[in-house]
Structure 1
Amino acid sequence: MPQSPKSVGLPGAHTVRHVFVYGTLRRGGRNDIARFRPEPFFVTDAVIAGTLYDLGAYPGVVLGGKRRVVGEIYRIEPEVEVALDVLEEVADDAGEYIRRTVMVEAGAQQFECLVYEIHLSRIAGRAVIRSGDWIAHAAAR
């Protein structure tokens, strides 16, 4: 099983981080992750176990279960991780999302990825996106 690459042996080196994006941060989404600097590097399309909810202008995922959520994996720099934390409001437990670290399979590879999971309190009465694909769902509205 391939490991996520790491920068080693250099002063100030950091572990490479990956993020799995499933909503407006995907390619073509209104918050397309490519707008962040330094620009994230697209790694691959992927699917995770979870249930996707329609929160109006954006989705939220609850991890686990039998449903699947469509998304993309990007390699990101620490500056982008900080910006994503601000966007997803994870500063404290009162925020909208919780930052999780999960293993995401993509073909024969596995990636340790950040995933922003919606707080359960935010999904009450919200519709499940049965396709698990926010971009397709938003386009069909």
Structure 2
Amino acid sequence: MPQSAAPADPARHVFVYGTLRRGGRNDIARFVPAPAHVADASIAGTLYDLGSYPGAVLGGTARVVGEIYAIASALEAQLDLLEEVKPDDSGEYVKREVKVQAGAKELVCLVYEIHPKRIVGRPVIASGDWLAHMPPIS
């Protein structure tokens, strides 16, 4: 699969694991400025089913399946709004930086971790793969 051209100001990399993945309801490829797909990857974490979207809690021995994209700072700001990130970490998601292995490279990626209060009583997605759990929207 050919990779997209890099964004004009590739400020960051982001690891997406839910509705922002290719084929997801909020497919990141629909955003402007367009992100560049870097690699498919997984991170240590537990994935929770929150109904129409997932939330990941980082760490542990389980894996969360996702994709890495190079993004411009303008797209990062849009993702912060979508994920309801708050400066005091009281929002729905908390923005973290995590080292992610992408083939032979290790990249520092933004990961939107679900706020711990949001997962109480929610089921774990044992596969760690949101799209396998919740088929993509056509």
Structures share fold, TM-score greater than 0.5: yes
Residue deviations 1:36-85 (CA, integer Å, cap 9, x gap): 10100000000100000000000000000000000000000000000000
Distance in 2, matches of 1:16 and 1:77, equals 5
Q: Which amino acid aligns with 1:94?
A: S
Percent identical residues: 67
2:36 aligned with 1:41, yes or no? yes
Question: SS in structure 2 opposite 1:16?
Answer: strand
Q: Who is 1:120 aligned against?
A: 116
Superposition misfits of 4+ residues, deviation over 6 angstroms: none
Q: Who is 1:7 aligned against?
A: none
1:59 pairs with one of 27, 39, 54: 54
TM-score, normalising length from structure 1?
0.87
Q: Who is 2:107 aligned against?
A: 111
Distance in 1, matches of 2:32 and 2:98, equals 24
Q: Who is 1:89 aligned against?
A: 84
Q: Who is 1:6 aligned against?
A: none
Larger radius of gyration: 1
Query: Structure 2: which 5+ runs fail to align?
Result: 1-7
Distance in 1, matches of 2:93 and 2:39, equals 23
Q: Who is 1:75 aligned against?
A: 70
RMSD of aligned alpha carbons? 1.5
2:2 aligned with 1:16, yes or no? no
Q: Who is 2:3 aligned against?
A: none
Q: Which amino acid aligns with 1:48?
A: I
Residue deviations 1:11-43 (CA, integer Å, cap 9, x gap): xx9663100000000000000001110100000
Q: Which amino acid aligns with 1:105?
A: Q
Using the TM superposition, give the Cα deviation of residue 113 of structure 1 relative to its aligned residue in structure 2, in angstroms.
0.2
Between the two proteins, the alignment pairs up a number of residues equal to 128
TM-score, normalising length from structure 2?
0.89
2:134 aligned with 1:130, yes or no? no
